[in-house]
Chain A
Amino acid sequence: GDSVTQMEGPVTLSEEAFLTINCTYTATGYPSLFWYVQYPGEGLQLLLKATKADDKGSNKGFEATYRKETTSFHLEKGSVQVSDSAVYFCALAVAQKLVFGQGTRLTINP
């Protein structure tokens, strides 16, 4: 079935470090791919998305490229800030369903 696998957390980095959170997927058809972020005590918010192969989604310094050949949608940011501390969810949308990965908790230390 359709599924998303994220790198296990938690991930702890220092401020200004480079971030990569890996995400791979399995899907029938051609899914749209998303990254959502959940700050403490809040619901999920869309961070970025890509709807077809080779599309790059970007927002707030975060980027992810839809790689069909490797079925991946890794999240990257060149220089993280303390305010980026949150839980990040990779997700795919296909056949009226949005399927989420397990989430990766990111903590940025000053």
Chain B
Amino acid sequence: DSGVTQTPKHLITATGQRVTLRCSPRSGDLSVYWYQQSLDQGLQFLIQYYNGEERAKGNILERFSAQQFPDLHSELNLSSLELGDSALYFCASSYQGATNEKLFFGSGTQLSVL
């Protein structure tokens, strides 16, 4: 158990809809990362937050947004969903968000867009 909690584990929705994925980081960790894993794209970095502030941005679509709340949990919002958004979405956390720090990953949320 990594200590990172993601909910829900599975999500099935339709095209055009909006969903919210939730992540609770490991106790004491200040930084949260979101990744998308798909068969064709592999593991893609989406965005990183540190203590409530956006720190780094990767290949995140404009239809996607995220935030980190004062209690350090994070939410990833996906809107106007398309079939191609079907993927496994991982959250990870680390203490300081430093470049060479070990990341602790959650078990992921499997999103299926039908």
Binding site for B on A (CB under 8 A): 32, 36, 41-46, 49, 51, 89, 93-103
CB–CB A97/B107 < 8 A:
no
B25 located at the interface, meaning its Cβ lies under 8 Å from any Cβ of chain A in the complex = no
Alpha-carbon gap, A58 to B95, bound state (A) = 22
* B41 to A, closest residue via Cβ: A102
| Band of interface residues on B | 20 to 34
Q: Is the CB of A41 within 8 A of B43?
A: no
Q: Which 5 A-B pairs have the closest CB atoms?
A: A43-B105, A32-B100, A96-B56, A100-B43, A102-B42
A96 touches B90 (CB 8 A): no
Q: Is the interface of A mostly helix, strand, loop or mixed?
A: strand
Say yes or no for B45: interface residue by CB 8 A criterion: yes
What 0/1 pattern do residues 86 to 114 of B give for CB contact below 8 A with A?
A: 00001010000101101101111000000
Closest to B105 in A: A43
Q: Which residues of B contact A95 (CB under 8 A)?
A: 56, 99
List chain A residues, Cβ under 8 A from B42: 100-103
**Which residues of B (45-72) have their CB < 8 Å from a CB of A?**
45, 48, 55-56, 58
Does B99 contact A96, Cβ atoms closer than 8 Å?
Answer: yes
Given A93-B100, A97-B58, 4 additional A-B pairs, CB 8 A: A45-B2, A46-B103, A99-B45, A103-B42
